Structure 1
């Protein structure tokens, strides 16, 4: 069975590749996006500043791309500064980003597998900091992001600052690269959607096919909602946004 993952392969290790490869699935990544830091010197300067070190004890980091930029920036600050940063509380979405933050050096991580999306994470933060609403919170984010977390926290009276540290652009020739590998695929292949970003051309192509010899999986409800709006009903929506859960549920669905 062929598995097409509509995402960039995470380096140095990708949990989805490891999980599917160990289960002997034929796994193909189709990168859709390019990510780059927006202003690395500014990020480094902020991380090393007394303003950040003394006044922000709570961080929100919801994407692996933000972690990658932070990792790059942290290598340019003194080691004693890094140790102070790693002792701050980091709130994140999903187990994958949580594991990367632990590997990076953060010691106090909340959310993770208990927060499948930004809405749930916001509720966790609101409850966690209900007795210290004046504490400053910093949200390391990208240029393109949903506003659920900022809206919920600010409307609840929390002091949130956003710092854009990366941007995302579409890779060229997405539809061509997808059709080149998909047209050679066997029947009953799975196409896994991880995000709405960069998928419009692929969806247009899939909607033109008269014979649907594939199945669609969504990594979560946000992407599912987008697919439904585009006229595609997923065969599977992963109950958790993680590789092991997706693999187990896909395997059960394929029996």
Structure 2
């Protein structure tokens, strides 16, 4: 008899995503290890019509887009050039009337493109409190003006997980940090949405990692199913 496979997802999945795992006879437990909250922020100097936003906007997450969309003056940003990380971030922006001129899968790639090709421009980076350093640091090192506006915050929800799992699904470096605050990883296979998330594990000397071909939740699930179907045909 085939040994049952038990998977932990460090975020709640959509019904169709859960169904794909269940149809493959993979048992799933879900726990949110991070939460995000929208923050209030200003687009204009208080009491004036003077914008604090540069001509080029940078978004590296859907959470930042969702926060900006709720600002009452959001429409005044839609004539600006937009640089985005992630296909879903790009799609969300375009669905809401923004013009995304450049998009990449990773912030490091975007930082390189801006530094090489668009280095005469000035940028405003809409980000969260736990944003990674690579993009703003790279731009600063290349003398490129990049102001940051914090539009959401990520909070860790660390909790002890008593069960033993064959695999763990990680979708952000913050989720890795949150999970490892209360748990250890030994032989569990770690399925990561992208290279940045995998690097957060590697920094903790965890190397039993599979990275999705494309940085999306659906691709992570495909990697899980492929891994265990091949292992237990």
TM-score, normalising length: structure 2: 0.78
Flag the structure with higher helix content: 1
**Structure 2 residue 155 is the aligned partner of structure 1 residue 169:** yes
Instruction: Give the number of aligned pairs.
Output: 221
Distance change >3 Å, CA 201–CA 107, structure 1 → 2: closer
For 1:58-207, list aligned pairs within 5 A.
58-73=56-71, 76-77=72-73, 82=75, 84-111=76-103, 115-130=104-119, 133=120, 135-171=121-157, 174-176=158-160, 178-179=161-162, 182=163, 188=166, 190-200=167-177, 202-203=179-180, 205-207=183-185
- For residues 65-85 of structure 1, the C-alpha deviation after alignment (integer angstroms, 9 at most, x for no partner) is 211211211xx23xxx61x42
Answer whether contact 2:34 2:178 (CA < 8 A) is retained: no
- Aligned twin of 1:237: 211
Answer whether contact 2:171 2:197 (CA < 8 A) is retained: yes
Answer whether contact 2:78 2:97 (CA < 8 A) is retained: yes
- Aligned twin of 2:192: 218
- Aligned twin of 2:221: 247
Using the TM superposition, name which of 191-200 and 23-32 deviates more.
23-32
Distance change >3 Å, CA 43–CA 32, structure 1 → 2: farther
Answer whether contact 1:7 1:29 (CA < 8 A) is retained: yes
SS of the residue corresponding to residue 159 of structure 2 reads helix
Distance change >3 Å, CA 127–CA 27, structure 1 → 2: farther
CA distance in 1, matches of 2:79, 2:12: 30
CA distance in 2, matches of 1:21, 1:60: 35
Answer whether contact 2:93 2:100 (CA < 8 A) is retained: no
CA distance in 1, matches of 2:171, 2:123: 27
**Structure 2 residue 39 is the aligned partner of structure 1 residue 4:** no
Distance change >3 Å, CA 65–CA 201, structure 1 → 2: closer
- For residues 187-222 of structure 1, the C-alpha deviation after alignment (integer angstroms, 9 at most, x for no partner) is x4x311122324446335344x7xx4x432122222
SS of the residue corresponding to residue 145 of structure 1 reads coil
What's the RMSD between the two structures over aligned residues?
Answer: 3.1
Answer whether contact 1:218 1:234 (CA < 8 A) is retained: no
Shift of 1:138: 0.4
**Structure 2 residue 42 is the aligned partner of structure 1 residue 43:** yes
Distance change >3 Å, CA 168–CA 243, structure 1 → 2: closer
Distance change >3 Å, CA 8–CA 58, structure 1 → 2: farther
- Aligned twin of 1:52: 51
Answer whether contact 2:33 2:179 (CA < 8 A) is retained: no
